[in-house]
Amino acid sequence: MNFLFINLNGVAAANKGYWMRNLKRKLKVDVIGLQETRQMGLSDIDLRRFWDSSSMQSCVVDSVGRSGGLALMWNPTVFSDASTLKNQRFLLVSSKIRGIEGSLNMINLHAPNDASQRRLFWNKIAELISQRSGLWILFSDFNDVREENEHVNSRFDRGAIDAFNEFINTAGLLEYPLTGGKFTYVLGHADVKMSKLDRFLVNDEFLTSGRWLKWKSRTEVPLIIV
Look at residue 65 in the predicted model and tell me its pLDDT.
77
pLDDT per position as a tens digit, 11-31: 888 899 899 999 899 988 999
Residue 184 has pLDDT above 90, yes or no: no
Asked which of 72-81, 135-144, 159-168 is least confident by mean pLDDT, the reply is 135-144
pLDDT per position as a tens digit, 34-86: 988 998 999 999 999 999 999 999 999 999 877 889 999 999 998 988 899 99
Residue-wise DSSP of 3-43: EEEEE-S-S--HHHHHHHHHHHHHHTEEEEEEE----SS--
CB atoms within 10 A of CB 141: 19
Give me the domains of the chain, ranges plus CATH numbers. 2-212 (3.60.10.10)
pTM for the model stands at 0.82
State the Cα–Cα distance between residues 158 and 164, nearest whole angstrom. Answer: 10
Residue 153 has pLDDT above 80, yes or no: no
